[in-house]
Amino acid sequence: MEIAVLKNSGEDTGRKVNLSEEIFGIEPNDHAIYLDVKQFLANQRQGTHKSKERGEIAGSTKKIKRQKGTGTARAGSIKSPIFRGGGRVFGPKPRNYGFKLNKKLKSLARKSALAYKAKDNSVVVLEDFSFDAPKTKDFVNVLSSLSVADKKTLLVLGDQSKNVALSGRNLQNAKVVTADSLNTYDVLNADSLLLSESSIEKIENLLK
């Protein structure tokens, strides 16, 4: 699959790159995508929720009324869950929501996400670039030149570029990642996938 290489100004460089059919041309596997996205979102959860049970509530342990003869149910503690202010029954406890997925399945999910973007013609290949200083304005100019300023964009770099990352950090609809941290959720969440030339080889090496 051949695709033109553009400058960050939006001009065509006259060069083309081949995107591997083994990655960008496969038949997407929706179930693999579902599992990988589910794991990604589960890993974002802190799992720090906690409610107090009857043994953790502050309050008197004195028997609040006599056992028999009141005409109502027996009650031994004001901390009982049936009373207002009492403990909660089977409330949430701190837990880890993460779960394991096989490496091959995660790799298939990323390939499938990239294949969907390629089918939708949502992949743009850019010549490697950098900024002299971190400036959001420069990043916005790049997006405007590529006519994607009003879309959700994911820029994938071959190597970490501090100035580029800082320039795009404050933009709500833009995200900058490196090829080795690419994940299925970010790819699918973006309307346009911007790949730097150096990132393509790294992505193909990681997913082969």
Which residues does 13 contact at the CB level (< 8 Å), separation at least 6? 4, 5, 6, 7, 127
Work out the mean pLDDT of the chain and round it to a whole number.
92
Q: How far is CA 39 from CA 22, 107, 203, in A?
A: 24, 13, 21
Looking at residue 169, its pLDDT comes to 92
Binned at pLDDT 50, 70 and 90, residue 171 comes out as very high
Please tell me the predicted confidence (pLDDT) of residue 176: 95
Q: Region 13-18: what's the mean pLDDT?
A: 88
C-alpha span between 199 and 180 (Å, rounded) = 9
Confidence of residue 32 (pLDDT cuts 50, 70, 90): very high
Would you kindly state where each structural domain of the chain is located, as residue ranges?
2-46+97-207, 51-91
Beta carbons within 8 Å of 154's beta carbon, 6+ residues apart: 174, 175, 177, 186, 187, 189, 190, 192, 193, 194
pLDDT digits (tens, 9 = 90+) for 174-196: 999 999 999 999 999 999 999 99
> What percent of the chain has a predicted confidence (pLDDT) above 90?
76
CATH number for the region 2-46+97-207 comes to 3.40.1370.10
pLDDT the model gives residue 58: 92
Q: Is the pLDDT score of 35 beyond 90?
A: yes
The confidence score (pLDDT) of residue 13 equals 86
- Indicate whether 26 pLDDT > 90: yes
